[in-house]
Amino acid sequence: MEYRFLPKKGIAPFVTGLLKDFKVYGPVEKDGFPMYGEITSPKDIHLSHAPTHLSPKQFLFPPKETILRFKNGAKPALEPVIEAHNQALFGIHSCDIHAIKLLDRVFSYGPRDVNYLKRRDKTVIIGIDCVPDKYCFCKSVNTMTVDSGFDLFLHDVGSGFVVEVGTQTGKNLLYKNAKTKKATMKEIKKIKEIRDKKAEMFVTKLNAEASTLPLIYSGSYNSPVWEKIGKICYGCGSCNNVCPTCYCFDVRDEIKTNLTEGERFRVWDACTLEDFAKVAGGHNFRKTRAERLRHRFNRKFQYLADKFGGLFCVGCGRCIRTCLVNINIAEVTNELIEEANKDRS
């Protein structure tokens, strides 16, 4: 692993350099809150190191994207649409890099999702160390640090950034756009010091080993907790939509007023919404909000972990922050852990 040292004032020219070859998305401030947005000048960047309200998945898997254009009538025609451009995701936190690695697996599983994968191919990822807020619990699901899945990773060591080089692409970008020098041992050691400090900062924690969670969830199907949270849930889908690993979508067609040409597009869907599991004929196999939440939580901690290996909750805490009725995936998991411990004793 190569480590370079980039002084703080080197960030602006580095970003300016990136802007020549990429659309750049990075941390900005929206209405005073941390968000990811398009960066058109280094001045737009707001490096607060705080978690953002929406995840960066929107740049790889947009909320709405056209996938096909069609024409009916005498000469029917179909044209697949893949929209992808060179993009740099700047200032991505380790939980979200883990999430992108999971999405990579999902979208390459079975029939490859060309729209996602093409976009992913044209994406470089530049990570950065972050500071947990009261919702973050990455440490409990082993996503507090990351050793792959990025092209470059910036560690703010006070005097400047130690830049960890993840790929050759990253290295080329760094050498092309910034004046760096080899990081000293002292500077590299600082990364661990900062990490150790971060590890002590978490307010939200899970009370069991991450590896035991699929088993705990598998025994929780009849827990009273589902009814309890189902009663207060809106079924509003916000938890899905802010989650960096939720990837469900719906496919719809839109036809022009000439009734011959149109587009097929996909939009985010969410398993907490009432009509998500409604099938032809009107039957709904997850009618209640309790059933839908149980499904969502199990997807994160059991079903997908079994299928893809690795928990699908990366502990980013966004679903906790967004939920207006305070349904807290960490608290619920801790309740299930407690129930499991009681059952065993």
Partner 1 sequence: MKNRHKPKVAFFSFTCCEGCQLQVLSCEDELPDVLSLVDIVNFREAIDEKRDDYDIAFIEGSISRQHEINEIKKIREKAKVVVALGACSATGGLNCLKNRFPMEEVQRVVYGDKAKKYKHLDTIPARPIDAVIPVDYYIHGCPITKSEFLYVLKSLLLGKKPEIPNYPVCVDCKMEGNICVFEKGMTCVGPVTRAGCSAICVTYGCICWGCRGLIDNPNLEAHEETLKRYGLTTEGVLRSFDLYGGWRSR
336 is an interface residue for ligand SF4 by CB under 6 A: no
DSSP letter string, 172-231: HHHHHH---EEPPHHHHHHHHHHHHHHHT--S---SS-GGGHHHHHHT-TT-THHHHHHH
275 binds, among ligand SF4, partner 1, none (CB under 5 to 8 A by kind): partner 1
94 binds ligand SF4 (CB under 6 A): yes
Q: Which residues are CB-contacts of 243 (< 8 A; sequence separation ≥ 6)?
A: 55, 316, 318, 319
Amino acid at 212: T
Task: Indicate the length of the chain as a whole number.
Answer: 345
Cβ neighbours of residue 330 closer than 8 Å, sequence gap 6 or more: 137, 140, 204, 205, 206, 315, 317, 320
Q: Which of partner 1, ligand SF4, none does residue 95 bind (CB under 5 to 8 Å by kind)?
A: ligand SF4
Q: Choosing among partner 1, ligand SF4, none, which partner's interface includes residue 256 (Cβ < 5 to 8 Å by kind)? A: partner 1
Where helices occur in the chain by DSSP H, the ranges are 11-21, 94-108, 114-121, 168-177, 185-199, 213-218, 225-232, 238-242, 289-298, 304-308, 318-322, 329-344
The structure tokens 């398009």 sit at: 38
Q: How far apart are CA 19 and CA 48, in angstroms?
A: 21
Compute the least distance from the CB of residue 3 to ligand SF4, in Å: 20
11, 103, 136, 336: residue in contact with ligand SF4 (rule CB under 6 A): 136
Note the helical H segments in 55-137.
94-108, 114-121
The site partner of 241 among partner 1, ligand SF4, none (C-beta below 5 to 8 Å per kind) is partner 1
Task: Mark the segment that binds ligand SF4 (CB under 6 A) among 65-73, 117-125, 171-179, 312-320.
Answer: 312-320
* Residue closer to ligand SF4 (CB basis): 178 or 327: 327
| CB of 289 vs partner 1, minimal distance in Å | 7
- 89 part of the interface to ligand SF4, by CB under 6 A: no
Q: Which of 42, 47, 58, 104 binds partner 1 (CB under 8 A)?
A: 58
Query: Is residue 135 a contact partner of residue 204, using CB atoms and an 8 Å limit?
Result: yes
Q: What is the nearest approach in angstroms of partner 1 to the Cβ of residue 244? A: 13
Supply 99's token pair: 């999430």
Q: What is the closest distance, in whole angstroms, from the C-beta atom of residue 299 to ligand SF4 in the complex?
A: 9
Q: Which is nearer to ligand SF4, 22 or 247 (CB)?
A: 247
Q: Which of 316, 332, 336, 340 binds ligand SF4 (CB under 6 A)?
A: 316
Contact 239, 323 (CB under 8 A): yes
Say how far residue 41 (Cα) sits from the centre of its chain: 24
Looking at the Cβ atoms of 42 and 230, the one nearer to partner 1 is: 230
CB count in 10 Å sphere of residue 169: 13
Interacting partner of 81 out of ligand SF4, partner 1, none (Cβ under 5 to 8 A depending on kind): none
d(CA 226, CA 336): 10
Binds partner 1 (CB under 8 A): choice among 23, 53, 69, 122: 53
Which residues lie near partner 1 (CB under 8 A)?
30-33, 35, 37, 53-54, 58, 63-64, 231-238, 241-242, 252, 254-259, 267-268, 270, 273-275, 289, 322, 324-325
* Interface residues toward ligand SF4, by CB under 6 A: 51, 93-95, 130, 132, 136, 138, 144, 233-239, 242-245, 272, 300, 313-319, 322-323, 325, 327, 329
